[in-house]
């Protein structure tokens, strides 16, 4: 279920191409890079590394680029049984504390097991309600704790759940990678461009191959070699590092390892994975090979929250591309890279902007 508020969407980018550099001799003219950096190794002359004097905070942690949205914007997500007066009640609550609603999107839907009836009819009882409110707190006339307490009381009255983000603290993100670099490049470039409001604190991998990419952006990179007999021990080390860096969100950017149930359960709805197929089709390994064997006419990519069930978590974002019998497996892999990196970035952005509500095994994703 996708709920759009009608705001214009920025066009996605990141298609595969050739690097082009502005060779203007004027040192004051910024260098312009276009195309894909996937597969590049030595790009320090094309994409200069961060100035570490400006990049590190006093505690030597990476400092993110300034947020392009005002820190006075807060976000409230609520979900629960539908009832009359929900929208009015929350709007009145915010109004009484001098908070201005900037954007509001809501939707209700029948519970799957109650959607019955003849001639297209259905049982209207049992609707589930979802709402996202973006509101300005710059003129709020009470302490935050009062607003939080009143929202909690309102949710209790309606039997709802809520999630409130004041918008003044960026989430800490860790990226897991293996050897494929296209998703990592896209995440780091979009972050550098200010499109992902977060702090990319660390990159973790089971191989050393992508360290040059991390070095280009000045992000710490740690390697945890994974073998069957050492996987549990290495996962414990990874989890200790994540705890030390206060990680809020984990992004699996083509990380070719299956996480243990303990790992997944430690970060519920906070691990985003990109799978290179249009789920639920071709779950598991080698989806492009299996898609080619079946002669598919469409390939896709799916970003979802990772759960203990492989590739079965709530779906956040998907996209597809048409292919034909003339495309071999290499063509499918090449075309799929563009889908994978753009779908993953869209999912991460939606999570960071609190535009996702998870209900059972579904994601309700509000538009930008």
Q: How far is the CA of 182 from the CAs of 16, 130, 148, in angstroms?
A: 10, 34, 41
Tokens read off for 357:
């509500």
Sign of CA dihedral 216, 217, 220, 221: negative
Q: How many helices (H) and strands (E) does the chain have?
A: 9, 16
Q: What is the maximal distance between C-alpha atoms in the chain?
A: 73
List, in sequence order, the alpha helices (H) in 97-228. 144-158, 182-192, 211-217
Q: Which residues of 108-143 are buried (b: 16+ CB within 10 A; e: fewer)?
A: ebbeeeeeeeeeeeeeeeeebbbbbbbbbbeebeee
Q: Cα angle vertex 199, ends 312, 74, to 5°?
A: 80
Distance CA 25, CA 31 (A): 10
Distance CA 263, CA 271 (A): 10
Q: Is 311 a catalytic residue?
A: yes
List 311, 319, 328, 331, catalytic entry: 311
Tokens read off for 117:
């009836």
Q: Cα angle vertex 175, ends 359, 308, to 5°?
A: 40
Residues with catalytic function: 311
């Amino acid at each position: 279920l996708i709920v759009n508020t009608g705001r214009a969407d920025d066009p996605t980018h990141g298609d595969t191409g050739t690097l082009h550099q502005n060779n203007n001799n004027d040192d004051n003219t910024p260098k312009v890079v276009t195309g894909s950096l996937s597969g590049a190794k030595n790009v320090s002359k094309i994409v200069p590394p961060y100035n570490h004097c400006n990049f590190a905070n006093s505690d030597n942690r990476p400092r993110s680029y300034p947020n392009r949205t005002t820190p006075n914007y807060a976000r409230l997500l609520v979900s629960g049984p539908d009832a009359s007066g929900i929208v009015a009640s929350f709007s009145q609550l915010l109004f009484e504390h001098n908070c201005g609603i900037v954007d509001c999107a809501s939707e209700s839907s029948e519970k799957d097991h109650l959607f019955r009836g003849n001639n297209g009819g259905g049982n209207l009882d049992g609707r589930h309600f979802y709402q996202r409110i973006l509101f300005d707190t710059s003129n709020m006339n009470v302490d935050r704790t009062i607003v939080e307490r009143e929202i909690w009381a309102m949710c209790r009255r309606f039997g709802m759940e809520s999630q409130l983000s004041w918008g003044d603290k960026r989430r800490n993100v860790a990226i897991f990678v293996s050897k494929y670099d296209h998703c990592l490049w896209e995440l780091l470039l979009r972050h550098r461009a200010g499109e992902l409001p977060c702090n990319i604190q660390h990159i973790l991998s089971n191989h050393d191959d992508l360290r040059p990419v991390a070095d280009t952006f000045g992000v710490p990179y740690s390697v945890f070699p994974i073998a069957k007999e050492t996987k549990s021990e290495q996962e414990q080390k990874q989890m200790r590092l994540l705890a030390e860096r206060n990680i809020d969100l984990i992004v699996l950017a083509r990380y070719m390892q299956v996480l243990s149930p303990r790992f997944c359960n430690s970060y519920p709805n906070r691990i985003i994975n990109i799978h290179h197929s249009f789920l639920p089709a071709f779950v598991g390994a080698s989806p492009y090979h299996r898609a080619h064997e079946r002669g598919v006419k469409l390939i896709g990519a799916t970003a979802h929250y990772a759960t203990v069930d492989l590739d079965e978590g709530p779906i956040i974002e998907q996209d597809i591309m048409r292919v034909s019998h003339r495309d071999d497996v290499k063509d499918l892999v090449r075309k799929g890279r563009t889908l994978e990196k753009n779908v993953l970035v869209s999912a991460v952005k939606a999570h960071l902007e609190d535009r996702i509500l998870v209900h059972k095994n579904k994601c309700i994703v509000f538009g930008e």
